[in-house]
Amino acid sequence: MKFKILLFAALAFALASCQGGASEATEGETTEAEATEDTPEEAATAEINTLTKEEKADGWMLLFDGESTDQWKGYCKDGFPERGWKVVDGAIMCEASGKGEAGGGGDIITKETFGNFELKLEWKISEGGNSGIFYLAREKCGEEEGQPIWKSAPEMQILDNEKHPDARLGKGGNRQAGSLYDLIPAKPQNAVPANSGWNEVTILSYDGTIVHTQNGENVVEYHLWTDDWKEMVANSKFKDYQDFIDVAKEGHIGLQDHGNDVWFRNIKIKKL
């Protein structure tokens, strides 16, 4: 009987010690496991605006880290626009001005220029919105040389295909999302609708071969400086702009202010 009493006391003491230890860990600092466990919100955004080990090894570089706009400037401006553009929730956002291309902060471009490259980013457009991604852009400023970016740079269109009138203009859908604006329609047309999520796109530029990819599918392919290119431009709104006919072999990446809310994130590039 004495042995049973002692055994019961020992078990009770062990149980109390375990409970006390758990209580002490709860009342003190978080445990190591708790400290390394991401919240659902952190887990959801952990990979935004970062490079994987594989991307780093493959030569990719970030053009936006989710906070700093140091790699960007206003077109024909000394620095980043003081109004019209801002960083919101890990994205570069263009704020709506309601004035189309005539209002807001204007287009922004990378400070660095690129020739052969692969560009990746995600975009999201507001209802009825319009924007674009320019590439191989010349920056011509001043009273004598001043010209808007679209007169020298091809544009991958960003659009709310459902509500913006541009979707019904042009020819064969060549002003819809993913298209080479006003020249070649994106096929298949697979853009995520406005306010429904992010579109993942890439632009590949290599010795004049250009490929647009939208949400995992190649939607546009063409070749600069060829007779076909010159003929296509000659039959377009760009026919009078020599810098567009003879697109630069190296130029800026640009994001368009078209007067509507639009967001960009995960902007990364690899030189080829």
> Do 13 and 95 share a domain, yes or no?
no
* Cα→Cα distances 252→47, 111, 112, 239, 265, Å: 26, 7, 6, 21, 18
257 located within any domain:
yes
> Do 103 and 186 share a domain, yes or no?
yes
> Do 126 and 16 share a domain, yes or no?
no
> Do 175 and 237 share a domain, yes or no?
yes
Regarding predicted confidence, which is higher, 8 or 272?
272
> Do 139 and 184 share a domain, yes or no?
yes
Mean pLDDT score of the chain:
86
Regarding predicted confidence, which is higher, 21 or 89?
89
190 located within any domain:
yes
Strands 262-271 and 117-125 come out as antiparallel
Mean pLDDT for the stretch of residues 84-103 = 87
> Do 11 and 54 share a domain, yes or no?
no
Give the chain's domain count: 2
Cα Rg of the chain (Å, integer): 26
> Do 165 and 99 share a domain, yes or no?
yes
> Do 148 and 27 share a domain, yes or no?
no
The CATH number given to whatever domain includes residue 63 is: 2.60.120.560
104 located within any domain:
yes
> Do 50 and 24 share a domain, yes or no?
no
> Do 232 and 115 share a domain, yes or no?
yes
pLDDT digits (tens, 9 = 90+) for 241-262: 999 999 999 999 999 999 999 9
Contact 126, 261 (CB under 8 A): yes
Please name which of 148, 206, 203 lies closest in space to residue 180, comparing C-alpha atoms: 203
40 located within any domain:
no
> Do 216 and 245 share a domain, yes or no?
yes
> Is the model's pLDDT at 234 over the cut of 50?
yes
Domain that holds residue 78: 45-271
pTM for the whole thing? Answer: 0.82
> Do 185 and 125 share a domain, yes or no?
yes
* Cα→Cα distances 180→105, 139, 150, Å: 24, 20, 12
